[in-house]
Structure 1
Amino acid sequence: MGGVDTARGMGFQTACAILQLIRTPDQYPEAETFRVEGTDEAIDFEVRDARGRPLLLAQAKTRVEPRTWSGPELVRLARRWGEADPNGTAVLRFLSDGPVQASGQAVRDAAERARALSDPEQWLAGCEGYACRSAPQASCSRPTAPTPFDIALCVHMGHSVRLSA
Structure 2
Amino acid sequence: MFFESLMVYMHKSIDKVLITEEAIRERLDTVAKQVMEDFQAEELVVVALLKGALVFAADMCRRMPVPLIIETVNVASYHGGTESSGKVKFLDAGMPDVGGKKVLVMDDILDTGLTMDAVIRELLEAGAEEIRSCVLLSKRKQRSVECEADYVAFEIDDEFVVGYGLDYQGLYRNLPYVGVLKV
Q: TM-score range by the shorter chain?
A: 0.3 to 0.5
The TM-score with structure 1 as length reference comes to: 0.35
Name whichever structure is richer in helix by fraction: 1
The TM-score with structure 2 as length reference comes to: 0.33
Say which structure, 1 or 2, has more relative contact order (CA 8 Å, 6+ apart).
Answer: 2
